[in-house]
Structure 1
Amino acid sequence: MLTNLTLATLALLAALLFRPWQLLTGGTRLTPLLATLTLVPWLWAMPSLHKMPLQLQGSAACLVVLMLGWPLAVPVLCVVGVMAALISPMSWNTALDLTVWLGLIPATLALAMGAAVRRWIGLHLFVYVLVRAFLGTAVCVFVAGVLAQWMGHSMPGIDDNLSLVAHWLIAWGDAFMTGMLTVLMVAFKPDWLATWSDKLYLKK
C-alpha cells in the first residue's frame, strides 16, 4: 500500500505542477472529462460488482490521456478510483491499487510513448491512430500489467503465467476500444482530443 500511495502522490504532484485546470479553459475538455467520470468508474468497478472467476478489468487510461492530456488525466483518474470504490464493494486499498496500476502507470507510459512516437516516427494521421492510439495502448497497458505482477499485484487465484496471457488479452481489448474511439473523434470531434492538432497531423 505504501508503494502505491507514494506513486500516486508523486504522479499527482507532478501533474499539478503543470496547472492542469488551465486545460479546461474554453470548455473543449469538459465533455471528455465528464464522460470519463461517468463511464470509467463503472469499467473499473465491474469485476467487484459481478463475481467472475477471472478478474479482468479494462483500463481506458491511454484514451483518457489522448483526450485530456497527461496533466489533467492524472487527477481525473484519481477521482475515478475514488468513484469506483464508492459504487462498488471494493476496499480502499483495492481502489488505490487500481488507480495506480490500471490508471496512473498506463497513463504515464502513454505519455512517454507519445513523446517517443513524435520524436522518432513523426507527425502523421496514420501514425497517431495506428501507432499511438492502437498499438501504443496495447503496449502501455500490457507493460503496466506486467509491472504490477512483478510488484506482487497478481490476479487472485490465477497462475502467474496465465496472468500474463490475461494481461495481454486485456491490453488488446483496450487497444481496440481506444483506437476505434480515437478514429471517431479525429473524424467528428477532434476538439475532444487534447493531443490532436489538425495543423500538425493534417499539415494544414
Structure 2
Amino acid sequence: MWLEAALLLIALVAALVTRPWRMLANHKPLVHESHGTPSALWTPLLAVLVFLPWLWALPTLHAMPLQLQWSGACLVVLMLGWPLAIPVLIAVGTAACVISPALVWADALGATVWLGVVPATLALGLGTLVRRYTGTKPFVYVLGRAFLGTVVCVFAAGVLSQWSGHLLPGVGDELSLVARWLMAWGDGFVTGMLAAIFVAFKPEWLATWSDGLYLHGRKP
C-alpha cells in the first residue's frame, strides 16, 4: 500500500507541475501535439469520468468466476495527454470506490495505480519511443501507440501489479499472467478502434494527435 501511495503521489505532483488545467481553460494549443482548441477536450474528459468508474467497479459489483479488469488508461492518455490524464484517473478511482460498496479505499488505491497511473505512464514513455524511432505516421500512431502500445503497457502494468501482490480473484498464480495477457489484448483492441475513429472523425478529441505533424510531416 505504501508503494502504491508513493507512486500515486509522485505521478500526481509531476503532472500538476505542468499545470494541465491550462489545456481546458486556454484556447491556444499548449504543446506541439495539440489539435484544434484544447476546450474540445472537455467532451472526452467528461466521458471518461462518467463511464470509466463503472468499468473499474464492475468486477466488484457482480460475482464472476473471472473478474475481467479493463484499464482504459492508455486511451485516456491519447485523448487528454499524460499530465491531465493522471488527476482524471485518480478521480476515476475515487468515483469507482464510491460506486461499489465492496471496493474499499485500499483496493481503490491499488486499482488507481495499477489500472491507471502505471499503464498511463508506460504509455507516455512508449509513445515517445515510437515517435522517435518510427516517425510520425498515422498508421504508426493507430497501430503502434493505440493498439500494440496499449497491449504492451497494460500487460506490463498487470505483471508489475502481480509482483506487488495483487492477484486476480479466482485465478491460480500460474494462469494469472495468461489472463492478464488476454485482457491486455481486449484493452488494445478497444483503444486502437476508438483511436482510429477519433483520428478520422474527431481528431480534436485526441490531445496527442496533430494533423500538421502526422499528415503533413511538419516539424514539432
TM over 0.5: yes
Residue 51 of structure 1, CA deviation: 1.1
Q: Deviations over 1:55-84 (max 9, x none)?
A: 121000000000000000000000000000
- What is residue 200 of structure 1 aligned with on the other side? 213
- What is residue 87 of structure 1 aligned with on the other side? 99
Q: Percent identity?
A: 64
Residue 28 of structure 1, CA deviation: 1.3
- What is residue 70 of structure 1 aligned with on the other side? 82
Tell me, yes or no, if structure 1 residue 101 matches structure 2 residue 81: no
Tell me, yes or no, if structure 1 residue 16 matches structure 2 residue 16: yes
Residue 159 of structure 1, CA deviation: 1.4
Residue 158 of structure 1, CA deviation: 2.0
Q: Distance in 2 between matches of 1:161 and 1:136?
A: 25
Tell me, yes or no, if structure 1 residue 133 matches structure 2 residue 133: no
Q: Distance in 2 between matches of 1:184 and 1:143?
A: 26
Q: Deviations over 1:175-195 (max 9, x none)?
A: 000000001100010000000
Residue 151 of structure 1, CA deviation: 1.2
1:47 maps to a residue whose letter is: P
Q: Unaligned regions of 5+ residues in structure 1, if any?
A: none
Give the TM-score normalised by the residue count of structure 1. 0.98
Residue 161 of structure 1, CA deviation: 1.9
Q: Distance in 2 between matches of 1:98 and 1:38?
A: 17
SS of the residue aligned with 2:208? coil
SS of the residue aligned with 2:107? helix
Considering only aligned residues, what root-mean-square deviation do their CA atoms show, in Å? 0.9
Work out the number of aligned pairs and report it: 204
Give the TM-score normalised by the residue count of structure 2. 0.91
Tell me, yes or no, if structure 1 residue 54 matches structure 2 residue 66: yes
